[in-house]
């Protein structure tokens, strides 16, 4: 049990029989007779839906410790991505709704931490950013009212995003996994 004022991003908790991950939590201290309040952005680990929740500062919340296991990504089929434990060869399926936009960045034989709650997979710890190769780009487009010039680029994994005009086909770029946006040009690794 934990006081609501101590909630932090990344924690898992149980509310009304459902398990949630705290995406963001901000405590706002009250003044005078008004008590403090914690505003939390929560993600349901069963359905993948997000919601906001307000807690009184003195309210106690049941926290849950998630089990993390290093597993190897195998493939995505339909609405499920399959991971394998390299020691026991046990395979588990994780719903793509729980992975969010990061599912397009999964590549075979990548080892990631899969999170389990009560023996059921509830999520995967994806990296903050990945390097991806640009397959093709369009001509730069300058929109009215904007001083930046961007152009569309399609990556080898099929994702389309906006990149600066100096990025061309075949280049390696760094992409944010959370919101699928361009960060910077990536350096080629020497073999």
For the chain, percent of residues with pLDDT exceeding 90: 9
Residues of the chain with CATH 2.40.50.140: 67-125, 129-185
* Residue 60: band (very low, low, confident or very high) from pLDDT cuts 50, 70, 90: confident
- Fold designation for 2-64: SH3 type barrels. (2.30.30)
The pLDDT tens digits of the residues spanning 26-42 come to 888 777 666 788 888 88
The CATH architecture annotation of domain 67-125 reads Beta Barrel (2.40)
The CATH number for 129-185, chosen from 2.40.50.140, 3.90.550.10, 2.70.50.60, 3.40.50.1370, is 2.40.50.140
Q: What is the mean pLDDT of residues 84-101?
A: 86
Q: Which pLDDT score is estimated for 146?
A: 61
pLDDT at 189 over 80: no
The predicted model scores a pTM of 0.69
Residues of the chain with CATH 2.30.30.30: 2-64
Q: Which pLDDT score is estimated for 32?
A: 67
Selection from 189, 176, 54 nearest residue 127 by Cα:
176
Selection from 178, 129, 185, 106 nearest residue 153 by Cα:
185
């Amino acid at each position: 049990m934990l006081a609501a004022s101590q909630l932090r991003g990344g924690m898992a908790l149980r509310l009304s029989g459902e398990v949630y991950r705290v995406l963001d939590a901000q405590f706002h201290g009250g003044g005078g007779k008004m008590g403090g309040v914690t505003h939390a952005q929560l993600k349901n680990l069963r359905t993948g839906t997000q919601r906001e929740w307000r807690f009184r500062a003195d309210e106690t919340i049941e926290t849950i410790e998630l089990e993390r296991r290093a597993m190897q990504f195998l493939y995505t089929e339909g609405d499920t991505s399959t991971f394998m434990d390299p020691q026991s060869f046990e395979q588990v399926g994780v719903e793509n709704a729980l992975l969010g936009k990061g599912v397009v960045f999964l590549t075979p034989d990548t080892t990631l931490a899969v999170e389990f709650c009560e023996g059921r997979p509830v999520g995967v710890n994806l990296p903050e950013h990945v390097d991806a190769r640009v397959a093709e780009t369009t001509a730069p487009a300058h929109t009215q009212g904007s001083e930046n010039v961007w152009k569309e680029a399609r990556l080898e994994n099929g994702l389309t995003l906006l990149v600066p005009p100096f990025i061309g086909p075949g280049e390696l770029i760094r992409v944010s996994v959370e919101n699928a946006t361009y960060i910077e040009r990536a350096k080629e690794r020497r073999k």
